[in-house]
A and B are shown apart, each in its own frame.
Chain A
Amino acid sequence: MSIVLELDNVTRSYGSGPTTVHALREVSLSVERGEFVAVMGPSGSGKSTLLALAGGLDQPTGGGVGVAGTELKGRTRDELARIRRRMLGFVFQDFNLVPTLTVLENVALPLELDDARTADALQQARHALERVGIAELADRGIDQVSGGQRQRVAIARAIIGDRRILLADEPTGALDTSTGDQIMALLRQLADEGVAVVMVTHEARHAGWADRVIFLRDGRLVDESRSDDPTVLLRHSNSRVPRRIFDPDVEA
């Protein structure tokens, strides 16, 4: 059990006095290595703010954020950028890839920005592309790959250099259901390999892939659902759901 991402009583507010707007209020969250957490809630409930704070893109007005044991508070802008590049990667709905670069160059970009040797960055980029299952597309242009493949490129870029935390904001928003499922299977695989994944989604179907689903409302964490919840058996004992799912002894 090792915690790689920790939000401790985090508040993010804008303005002051009676006009203060609280985007996030006193939210605490610990994410372990290899854990897949989905964040749900209505629009304006603070989902994206939570992700921005977790990734050091924004600073809390109260509480603290720790990434891989490093407290983000009091860091300079450059230090934050370096921590981001080494520890965590972001994935967005619209991929945010550079259209003039190849697939491989896009994935290598964060390491190059971090002054890695080009040969080294490209080698690690190839490794990351292998992990997301599209090594054969390395030399294609971004406009020569499909939407689902573009999201795989973005995910490879996010995990390059064995970064341990993947923050995803509606990563399947621009994809059809079946392609979205494949992206979920990939995030699940990366979590099983040890990456901590935090994903904002409004799709219940995709939240189903997570170990833990947290619910935000008006900036507060109001509820959560854990897949290892000991009340699970109780929950199903009086339901009519098919037996095979909850009784491993009923087998094909």
Chain B
Amino acid sequence: MSIRQSLLALLSEQPRHGYELKAEFDRRTGHSWPLNIGQVYSTLERLERDGLVVRGDEDDDGRVVHSITTDGRREVQAWFANPVVLDNPPRNELAIKIAIASSMPAVDLTALVQVQRRASIATLQDYTRARRAADPDDLAWHLVIESMIHQTEAEVRWLDHCENAALRASHRARAARTARAAAAVEPQPTPPATTNPLPASQKSPR
């Protein structure tokens, strides 16, 4: 979706041919997600089908220049005016893996988290090196790489959280086992259920 909107935005500046669109897209996103020319042409075909661009004539080199239509301009304005909404957040393999692992006592969650943390930190080392090597005036590239640094940083913070949450859960489970064992040895009269309407998991701090 973002390729379609980006190409349309570039066409709202001036008519361009396919290769020129690819070069402009790559340059303005810091060459971080280079397009292949096939993607550009198939996107242009769909934009034409939807009445958002029109094809011009071939020039002497056989290249076709595309121009934006009024409907196309309206779509560009709408793109910039509205927030990007992830209706359906992409499936997060890591979150799923850790959720599954946390439900399996046989899996060492601490070790799993550390393997991931190390990989994330190594990735941050690479990103940071790339950022240092970049031309300070290349704002597009700077913004793109900072986006990745922030995401990776958030991932490490979330991993710390997973580890702490799992640790607290195992402390609670151990405390509950100890309490049950003590109760078995020396039965206590059970308090009336009404004095304690909350389940155990909601009573404990955090």
Contacts and interface: CB of A to CB of B under 8 A. Distances in A.
A242 B33 contact: yes
Interface stretch (A85-93, A122-130, A148-156, A208-216): A208-216
A40 to B, nearest CB: 7
Given A204-B156, A242-B33, A250-B34, A210 B127 contact: no
17 contacts: A42-B160, A204-B157, A205-B153, A213-B118, A213-B121, A215-B114, A215-B117, A227-B122, A229-B122, A235-B122, A243-B31, A244-B130, A245-B32, A245-B130, A245-B145, A250-B34, A252-B30
Contacts of B129: 227
B127 A245 contact: yes
Interface in A214-237: 215, 217, 222-225, 227, 229, 232, 235-236
A215 B135 contact: no
Interface in B119-170: 119-130, 132, 135, 138, 141, 144-145, 148-149, 152-153, 156-157, 160, 163-164
A188 interface: yes
Interface residues of B, number: 36
Given A213-B121, A225-B125, A252-B141, 14 more contacts: A188-B132, A204-B121, A204-B152, A204-B156, A205-B124, A208-B121, A225-B118, A225-B122, A229-B122, A242-B31, A242-B144, A244-B30, A250-B34, A252-B30
Interface string A80-99: 00000000000000000000
Q: Which among A236, A241, A243 has the greatest number of chain B C-beta atoms within 10 A?
A: A241
A115 interface: no
B152 to A, nearest CB: 7
A242 B32 CA distance: 5
B34 A225 contact: no
A207 interface: yes
A1 B11 CA distance: 55
Contacts of B125: 207-210, 213, 225, 227
Contacts of B152: 204
Q: Chain A's interface: helix, strand, loop or mixed, by majority?
A: mixed
Interface of B: 27, 30-34, 114, 117-130, 132, 135, 138, 141, 144-145, 148-149, 152-153, 156-157, 160, 163-164
A251 B84 CA distance: 28
Interface of A: 40, 42, 185, 188, 203-205, 207-210, 213, 215, 217, 222-225, 227, 229, 232, 235-236, 241-246, 250-252
A3 B129 CA distance: 24
Contacts of B135: 252
A19 to B, nearest CB: 21
Nearest to A240: B33
A236 B34 CA distance: 17
B176 to A, nearest CB: 24
Contacts of A242: 30-33, 144, 148
Contacts of B122: 213, 225, 227, 229, 232, 235
B188 to A, nearest CB: 31
B121 A40 contact: yes
Nearest to A246: B126
